[in-house]
Structure formats: C-alpha cells, structure tokens
Amino acid sequence: MISLMVAISSLGYNTWRNETSELHRNWRQASFELTREINELQQVVLYRRYFHPVESDVPAGIGDAETWIRGWGRAASVRDLTSVLPDPLPAHGLHLHTTWAQHARHLHGDDELAREAEEALLTALDDTRDSVLELIRNLR
C-alpha cells in the first residue's frame, strides 16, 4: 500500500514539474523574443526621432513610411507577445502599443511635441523591458 502511495504521489509530482518546466521554457523563449522586439522598436523610435528626414510623398505626420510600418509591426508584436506572459506584462504590452499609437506621428518633428513623444515611448519601452527582465530572472 505504501509503495502504491509513493508511486502515485511521485507520478503526480513528476507530471506537475514537467508541466511547470514546459510553461517556464515557453515564457523564457517568448521573453527573449520580446526583448529583441523591444530593442528593435527602440531603434525605430530613435531613428525616426534623430536621423530620418520626412519624405514628401507620404501623408502628413507619418515621416518615413518604412520605419512607420516597421514601428507599427514591432509595437503590435510586443503587444501580442506580452499577452501570453504572466502579469504585469500584458498591461505593459498594451500600454506600449497605445503609447505608440498616440505618439508615433510626432517623432519626426523638431518641437516640444516630438520630445514628449520620444520620452513617452522610451519610458514605455524601458518599463516593458524591465518587466521582461524581471520575469526572466524569476524563472527557474
């Protein structure tokens, strides 16, 4: 009887441990991909803000069409990847996407609005990155 109890409890623990390990592996992989996306989006923000002139054949406020599209893709990717991770990351991802939607048009200017846009986006990126790194540190 004791052997049966040990076998059942061992099987239960082993199953739980395997499922937890798999979940952590998935979170870790998503976190590494998310870190890459955050860094890419930060490069888009800085490039749009400091180095790229406004093209004359794109709608007003968009600036460079390629970085505009790349930025939207990265912002959406961050939002999507954070949605499969534990709290508080889904909220950070949604906040970053919303911040991009509100401020991306203003990045290419040379006024106070452009500086506010850059600051808001870089703050949202840093907050999200810090949460991702905290998750990676806490995974076992």
Q: Give the other-Cβ count within 10 Å of 137's Cβ.
A: 7
Q: Model pTM?
A: 0.85
What's the pLDDT at 54? 60
Say how far apart CA 35 and CA 13 lie, in whole Å. Answer: 32
What's the pLDDT at 111? 85
Say how far apart CA 50 and CA 15 lie, in whole Å. Answer: 52
The domains found in the chain, sorted by start residue, are 2-138 (1.20.120)
What's the pLDDT at 28? 96
Instruction: Give the relative orientation of helices 112-138 and 2-50 as an angle to the nearest 10 degrees.
Output: 160
Tens-level pLDDT at each residue, the chain (140 residues): 899 898 899 999 999 999 999 999 999 999 999 999 999 999 999 988 888 666 556 665 666 788 889 999 999 999 999 999 999 999 999 999 999 999 998 888 778 998 999 999 999 999 999 999 999 999 97
What's the pLDDT at 109? 76
What's the pLDDT at 97? 98
| Cα distances (angstroms) measured from residue 12 to each of 18, 24, 53, 97, 139 | 10, 18, 61, 41, 21
